[in-house]
Amino acid sequence: MPSRHSSHVRVFSILFATSVATIPATQFARAGYIASANAGVPLLAGAEETALSYDPTEVLSLEVAVLPVSIARVVVSSGTLGVKTSTTGTGIAVGVVANGLVGDDYNIFGNPQGTMLPLSFNFRLHGSLDASSQFGDKNSQSHATVGYTASLTSLDGGRDSTSGQIQRSSIAGVPSLQRWSDASGFELSGGPIIDEKVSVTLPVSTGGRLSSSLTATALASVSGGASADVDFLSTFALESITLPSNYNRNGLGNLEVAFGSGKRYVVTQADVTPVPEPSSLLLLVTGLVALYRLLICCNLRQGC
């Protein structure tokens, strides 16, 4: 069903594909900006909806709901991805999947000598994973999963990417949390909220292409009492572009990265967390020991 926009194609069918809409490689390479979204309910042979856009001013928003208890939603805008899936087992196994992808060309300004710059493109992954099941019922289980990919290429021929996946599960009322990631420094916070930093770094001199994708999957078993919810509509967004904290910027101008979608980022230095000197640590330990002894003294004498 064609839309009102010539750059936007929308398809509705009863067949489901777990991957993002297929995009011809040559078409992808020519586009300064491309966004796609896909949502569906595969295990029910239910509805699938796919959208594709080359217009960075257009926000792709898809929502598929076959049952009142099952929903898949995708929101894609310039530089930001959002996905949500939610399902509850009610006599049949229910699984819903939502995919979003953004690709955008970028150019570097303020680098007159064409120096290879070790730029880090820093994303924030923020949302929640929740899974529950009936206690004691081994047939009652649910799985809530979010996966991400960030891929960076340069006109100099370089390429790098990072990807990861977080899954919260519940089987017979027993919860678990697992993570797969090749991003250094990627750690999970406690509770259902996920709020993490994801970075991909590549030496770049003039420009290249940045692509990112986000996938949410919610699966609940046939047995009642199981439900899964993945809510990352908050954001998977590029927050900043940085150089190493100790990088010498001599010869560089006002460094900026401009994307085909119109977004621009000022390149800054990465923050550094101060490391206490050994002498400072020694003073801190000495002070803590003295405080501990004082408290013991007060307890024994009922006041000092």
d(CA 255, CA 29): 25
- Written as six digits, the tokens of 206 are 């003039």
pLDDT at residue 91, rounded to an integer:
60
Tell me the backbone φ, ψ of residue 173, rounded to 5 degrees. Answer: 85, 0
Which of 66 and 22 is assigned the larger pLDDT? 66
The three-state secondary structure class of 251 is: coil
pLDDT at residue 291, rounded to an integer:
42
d(CA 104, CA 54): 10
Sequence-separated contacts (24+) of 25-30 with Cβ below 8 Å: 28/103
Q: Residue 68: count other Cβ atoms within 10 Å of its Cβ.
A: 8
pLDDT in tens, 102-145: 999 999 999 999 999 999 999 998 899 999 988 888 888 899 99
pLDDT higher than 90, residue 31:
no
DSSP designation for 21: P
pLDDT at residue 25, rounded to an integer:
35
Which of 269 and 274 is assigned the larger pLDDT? 269
pLDDT at residue 182, rounded to an integer:
59
pLDDT higher than 60, residue 230:
yes
pLDDT higher than 90, residue 266:
yes
pLDDT higher than 60, residue 283:
no
* pTM value surpassing 0.85: no
Mean pLDDT of 79-107: 83
